[in-house]
Protein backbone atom coordinates (compact mmCIF):
# COMPACT_ATOMS: atom_id res chain seq x y z
CA UNK A 1 0.00 0.00 0.00
CA UNK A 2 1.19 3.45 -0.89
CA UNK A 3 1.43 6.39 1.44
CA UNK A 4 -1.92 8.06 2.08
CA UNK A 5 -2.16 11.39 0.31
CA UNK A 6 -3.10 14.46 2.35
CA UNK A 7 -6.69 15.71 2.01
CA UNK A 8 -5.45 18.80 0.16
CA UNK A 9 -3.48 16.88 -2.49
CA UNK A 10 -5.81 17.47 -5.47
CA UNK A 11 -6.20 21.13 -4.52
CA UNK A 12 -2.43 21.57 -4.36
CA UNK A 13 -1.94 19.79 -7.71
CA UNK A 14 -4.37 22.21 -9.36
CA UNK A 15 -2.48 25.12 -7.79
CA UNK A 16 0.86 23.78 -9.08
CA UNK A 17 -0.59 23.37 -12.59
CA UNK A 18 -1.68 27.01 -12.56
CA UNK A 19 1.71 28.18 -11.27
CA UNK A 20 3.60 26.16 -13.90
CA UNK A 21 1.53 27.88 -16.59
CA UNK A 22 2.67 31.34 -15.47
CA UNK A 23 -0.52 31.68 -13.45
CA UNK A 24 -1.43 33.44 -10.22
CA UNK A 25 -3.15 31.71 -7.32
CA UNK A 26 -4.80 32.90 -4.12
CA UNK A 27 -4.01 30.75 -1.10
CA UNK A 28 -3.58 30.74 2.67
CA UNK A 29 -0.12 31.50 4.00
CA UNK A 30 1.45 31.33 7.43
CA UNK A 31 0.34 34.94 7.88
CA UNK A 32 -2.58 36.29 5.81
CA UNK A 33 -4.47 35.18 2.67
CA UNK A 34 -2.05 35.69 -0.19
CA UNK A 35 -1.37 35.80 -3.90
CA UNK A 36 1.43 33.74 -5.38
CA UNK A 37 3.24 33.07 -8.64
CA UNK A 38 6.46 31.34 -9.62
CA UNK A 39 9.14 33.88 -8.62
CA UNK A 40 11.02 33.12 -11.86
CA UNK A 41 7.98 33.74 -14.09
CA UNK A 42 8.01 37.25 -15.53
CA UNK A 43 4.41 36.80 -16.73
CA UNK A 44 3.14 35.46 -13.41
CA UNK A 45 4.86 38.09 -11.27
CA UNK A 46 3.72 40.93 -13.52
CA UNK A 47 0.16 39.63 -13.29
CA UNK A 48 0.31 39.89 -9.50
CA UNK A 49 1.25 43.56 -9.83
CA UNK A 50 -1.54 44.07 -12.36
CA UNK A 51 -4.15 42.35 -10.18
CA UNK A 52 -3.13 44.37 -7.12
CA UNK A 53 -2.74 47.59 -9.16
CA UNK A 54 0.63 48.00 -7.48
CA UNK A 55 3.88 49.51 -8.76
CA UNK A 56 6.64 47.00 -9.56
CA UNK A 57 9.03 49.13 -7.50
CA UNK A 58 7.24 47.72 -4.41
CA UNK A 59 8.92 44.32 -4.72
CA UNK A 60 7.32 41.05 -3.67
CA UNK A 61 8.73 38.64 -1.12
CA UNK A 62 9.78 35.05 -1.75
CA UNK A 63 8.63 31.96 0.11
CA UNK A 64 11.00 28.99 0.48
CA UNK A 65 10.53 25.73 2.36
CA UNK A 66 14.05 24.78 3.43
CA UNK A 67 16.95 26.30 5.32
CA UNK A 68 19.19 25.35 2.39
CA UNK A 69 17.09 27.40 -0.03
CA UNK A 70 17.09 30.35 2.37
CA UNK A 71 20.84 30.13 2.82
CA UNK A 72 21.39 30.03 -0.94
CA UNK A 73 19.31 33.17 -1.43
CA UNK A 74 20.75 35.01 1.59
CA UNK A 75 24.23 33.54 2.15
CA UNK A 76 25.42 36.44 4.33
CA UNK A 77 22.87 35.93 7.10
CA UNK A 78 24.54 36.12 10.52
CA UNK A 79 23.94 33.62 13.31
CA UNK A 80 21.55 36.14 14.89
CA UNK A 81 19.15 35.71 11.95
CA UNK A 82 18.98 31.94 12.40
CA UNK A 83 18.49 32.40 16.15
CA UNK A 84 15.65 34.82 15.47
CA UNK A 85 13.93 32.27 13.22
CA UNK A 86 14.29 29.66 15.94
CA UNK A 87 12.90 31.69 18.86
CA UNK A 88 10.29 33.89 17.19
CA UNK A 89 6.68 33.01 18.01
CA UNK A 90 5.51 34.48 14.69
CA UNK A 91 6.65 34.29 11.06
CA UNK A 92 9.76 36.30 10.18
CA UNK A 93 10.56 37.75 6.76
CA UNK A 94 14.28 38.36 6.29
CA UNK A 95 15.65 41.08 4.03
CA UNK A 96 19.22 40.94 2.76
CA UNK A 97 21.47 40.90 -0.30
CA UNK A 98 20.71 38.23 -2.91
CA UNK A 99 23.52 35.68 -3.13
CA UNK A 100 25.66 35.42 -6.24
CA UNK A 101 25.42 31.63 -6.59
CA UNK A 102 21.63 31.42 -7.00
CA UNK A 103 20.52 28.98 -9.71
CA UNK A 104 17.33 30.91 -10.51
CA UNK A 105 16.82 34.07 -12.55
CA UNK A 106 14.09 36.01 -10.81
CA UNK A 107 11.37 38.01 -12.51
CA UNK A 108 11.38 41.82 -12.43
CA UNK A 109 9.69 42.94 -9.24
CA UNK A 110 11.43 40.36 -7.04
CA UNK A 111 14.84 41.99 -6.47
CA UNK A 112 15.20 45.58 -5.31
CA UNK A 113 17.47 48.04 -7.09
CA UNK A 114 20.03 47.70 -4.29
CA UNK A 115 20.20 43.93 -4.90
CA UNK A 116 18.24 42.98 -1.79
CA UNK A 117 15.38 40.52 -1.51
CA UNK A 118 12.80 39.60 1.12
CA UNK A 119 12.46 35.90 1.97
CA UNK A 120 10.36 33.91 4.41
CA UNK A 121 10.91 30.29 5.38
CA UNK A 122 7.57 28.45 5.59
CA UNK A 123 6.77 25.08 7.12
CA UNK A 124 3.15 24.56 6.03
CA UNK A 125 3.02 21.27 4.04
CA UNK A 126 0.64 22.73 1.42
CA UNK A 127 2.97 25.64 0.64
CA UNK A 128 5.95 23.32 0.69
CA UNK A 129 4.20 21.14 -1.92
CA UNK A 130 3.68 24.21 -4.15
CA UNK A 131 7.31 25.31 -3.86
CA UNK A 132 8.61 21.82 -4.61
CA UNK A 133 6.06 21.43 -7.40
CA UNK A 134 7.41 24.41 -9.33
CA UNK A 135 11.03 23.90 -8.30
CA UNK A 136 11.46 27.56 -7.38
CA UNK A 137 10.53 30.03 -4.65
CA UNK A 138 7.01 31.44 -4.64
CA UNK A 139 6.53 35.14 -5.26
CA UNK A 140 4.16 36.19 -2.50
CA UNK A 141 2.08 39.13 -1.33
CA UNK A 142 -1.23 39.73 0.39
CA UNK A 143 -4.40 39.15 -1.68
CA UNK A 144 -5.68 42.71 -1.66
CA UNK A 145 -5.79 45.63 -4.04
CA UNK A 146 -3.14 48.29 -3.36
CA UNK A 147 -4.04 50.57 -0.44
CA UNK A 148 -6.93 48.29 0.59
CA UNK A 149 -7.13 46.29 3.86
CA UNK A 150 -5.17 43.04 4.02
CA UNK A 151 -7.47 39.98 4.02
CA UNK A 152 -6.93 37.64 6.95
CA UNK A 153 -9.18 34.93 5.46
CA UNK A 154 -10.51 33.96 2.03
CA UNK A 155 -13.92 35.47 2.82
CA UNK A 156 -12.30 38.90 3.13
CA UNK A 157 -10.67 38.83 -0.33
CA UNK A 158 -12.15 41.33 -2.80
CA UNK A 159 -14.04 39.66 -5.67
CA UNK A 160 -11.98 41.67 -8.14
CA UNK A 161 -8.98 39.71 -6.87
CA UNK A 162 -10.58 36.24 -6.71
CA UNK A 163 -12.04 36.72 -10.20
CA UNK A 164 -8.65 37.74 -11.64
CA UNK A 165 -6.52 34.82 -10.48
CA UNK A 166 -6.17 31.46 -12.20
CA UNK A 167 -6.88 29.39 -9.11
CA UNK A 168 -8.33 30.04 -5.64
CA UNK A 169 -7.14 27.43 -3.16
CA UNK A 170 -9.76 25.52 -1.18
CA UNK A 171 -7.21 24.55 1.46
CA UNK A 172 -7.98 26.30 4.78
CA UNK A 173 -10.59 28.45 3.03
CA UNK A 174 -12.94 27.95 5.97
CA UNK A 175 -10.35 29.20 8.46
CA UNK A 176 -11.71 32.15 10.37
CA UNK A 177 -8.74 32.67 12.63
CA UNK A 178 -7.22 36.11 12.35
CA UNK A 179 -3.56 36.09 11.42
CA UNK A 180 -0.99 38.82 11.42
CA UNK A 181 1.69 40.02 9.06
CA UNK A 182 5.18 38.70 9.56
CA UNK A 183 7.94 40.52 11.37
CA UNK A 184 10.19 42.16 8.74
CA UNK A 185 13.88 42.25 9.63
CA UNK A 186 16.78 43.57 7.53
CA UNK A 187 20.33 42.27 7.87
CA UNK A 188 23.08 44.19 6.08
CA UNK A 189 26.22 42.52 4.74
CA UNK A 190 28.02 43.29 8.01
CA UNK A 191 25.36 41.34 9.90
CA UNK A 192 23.74 44.37 11.53
CA UNK A 193 20.02 43.98 12.21
CA UNK A 194 17.29 46.55 11.62
CA UNK A 195 13.62 45.83 12.33
CA UNK A 196 11.50 47.21 9.47
CA UNK A 197 8.16 45.95 10.81
CA UNK A 198 7.66 44.54 14.28
pLDDT reading at 185 higher than 90: yes
Q: Long-range contacts: 142-149, Cβ < 8 Å, 24+?
A: 142/32, 142/33, 142/34, 142/35, 142/181, 143/26, 143/32, 143/33, 143/34, 143/35, 144/52, 145/52, 145/53, 146/52, 146/53, 146/54
In this prediction, residue 11 has a pLDDT band, given cuts at 50, 70 and 90, of: very high
pLDDT digits (tens, 9 = 90+) for 25-56: 999 999 999 999 999 999 999 999 999 999 99
Specify the pLDDT at position 43. Answer: 98
Specify the pLDDT at position 3. Answer: 76
Percent of residues, the chain, with pLDDT higher than 90: 84
Specify the pLDDT at position 180. Answer: 73
pLDDT digits (tens, 9 = 90+) for 79-98: 999 999 999 988 999 999 99
In this prediction, residue 175 has a pLDDT band, given cuts at 50, 70 and 90, of: confident
In this prediction, residue 7 has a pLDDT band, given cuts at 50, 70 and 90, of: very high
Specify the pLDDT at position 73. Answer: 96
Report d(CA 179, CA 135) in Å as an integer.
Answer: 27
Q: What is the pTM of this model?
A: 0.94
pLDDT digits (tens, 9 = 90+) for 107-126: 999 999 999 999 999 999 99
Structural domains of the chain sorted by starting position, each given as residue range(s) with its CATH number in brackets: 9-197 (3.90.870.10)
For 37, residues 6+ apart whose C-beta sits below 8 A from its C-beta are 19, 22, 23, 24, 25, 44, 45, 47, 48, 107, 138, 139
3-state helix, strand, coil in the chain (%, to 5): 30, 20, 50
pLDDT reading at 176 higher than 90: no
Percent of residues, the chain, with pLDDT higher than 70: 97
Amino acid sequence: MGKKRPHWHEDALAAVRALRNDGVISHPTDTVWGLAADATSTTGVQRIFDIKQRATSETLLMLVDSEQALEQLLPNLPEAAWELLEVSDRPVTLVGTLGGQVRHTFAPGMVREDGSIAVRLVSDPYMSFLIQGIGAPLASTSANLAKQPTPQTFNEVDERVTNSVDFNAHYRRADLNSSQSSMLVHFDDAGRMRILRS
